[in-house]
Structure 1
Amino acid sequence: MRRTAGAFFVKDGRVLLARRAAHKETYPDCWDIVGGHVEPGETVEQALIRETMEELGVTPLQFEAVGLFAEPLPERYGEAVHHFFRVTEWRGEPSLTDDEHTELRWFTLDEACTLEDLAIPEYRELFAILLTRS
């Protein structure tokens, strides 16, 4: 079964989300967290670090696992287990480094929870937990 590692970057009561490019096969043109597939022989933590370096140009320094859940739309995107991490310290300044995303934006809890085009609606359940663990 496919596994992914995703990063919730949290700073000053806000969470960083990226808008996926319209050409992406999974969750096109939706607000999402950064992350991606765990490669063979790689741990989810190693995938988290690699993916954030590739997509944002930053290296997570302090992070913790905050949950996992099954792909909510397996009939559309295939079966997967998504692992999520709260990242509170990193080296570098997040910026778009490839064509996977078209925009980066910091959102407050209220703003993030009201996004209609959020890739995975279950993220809303994690936002409050992520932002209150400062």
Structure 2
Amino acid sequence: MQVHECVSFILLKDDQVLLEKRAKDKEYDPSLIAIPGGHMELGETQEQALLRELKEELNIVPKSYVHLCSLYHPTGELQLIHYYVANRWEGEILSLEADEVSWHSLNSNPLDIEADKVALAEYRRLKNAGVELG
């Protein structure tokens, strides 16, 4: 099975994470609550995809970011999602592709995708261990 690489961005503000309700017309995971992200394009690096997707999806440019982990997400295709953490950015967050985006508590959130749940749990684990991310 072919692997499709993606990037997702865990945006943090205080003790909240930005999540999206995916558009109902998306081919994969329609209407699910998820960490925002998108597919890497042919020849793109993870960093290039991250910067492009943040601009296309949320109209922002990160001031700093760090890779958190990479996880497989079997949906209609097998995705390898590279998760990044950012807590500083330029621009006003706008929902340009999702039905909506909103802030949720890091400790109680409505994520529907298992890989996203694991990535957020990994962020909390590292944060509780005193590791600086983002």
**Under TM normalisation by the shorter chain, which class is it?**
0.7 to 0.9
Q: Distance in 1 between the 2:115 and 2:37 partners? A: 16
Match of 2:46 in 1: 44
Aligned residue for 1:18, secondary structure, equals strand
2:107 maps to amino acid: D
Deviation (angstroms), 1:110: 2.7
Distance 2:122 2:69 in 1: 11
Q: Aligned residue for 1:10?
A: 12
- The equivalent of 2:58 in structure 1 is 56
What's the TM-score, normalizing by structure 1? 0.84
Aligned-pair RMSD on alpha carbons?
1.6
CA shift, 1:124, in A, is 2.2
Counterpart of 1:80 in structure 2 is 79
How far apart are the structure 2 equivalents of 1:43 and 1:119? 27
Deviation >3 Å, runs of 4+? none
User: Following the alignment from structure 2 to structure 1, what is the Cα–Cα distance between the partners of residues 26 and 66?
Assistant: 28
Segments of 5+ residues of structure 2 without an aligned counterpart are none
The aligned residue for residue 116 of structure 2 is: 123
- Per-residue deviation, residues 12-42 of structure 1 (Å, max 9, x unmatched): 0110001001111111111112211111111
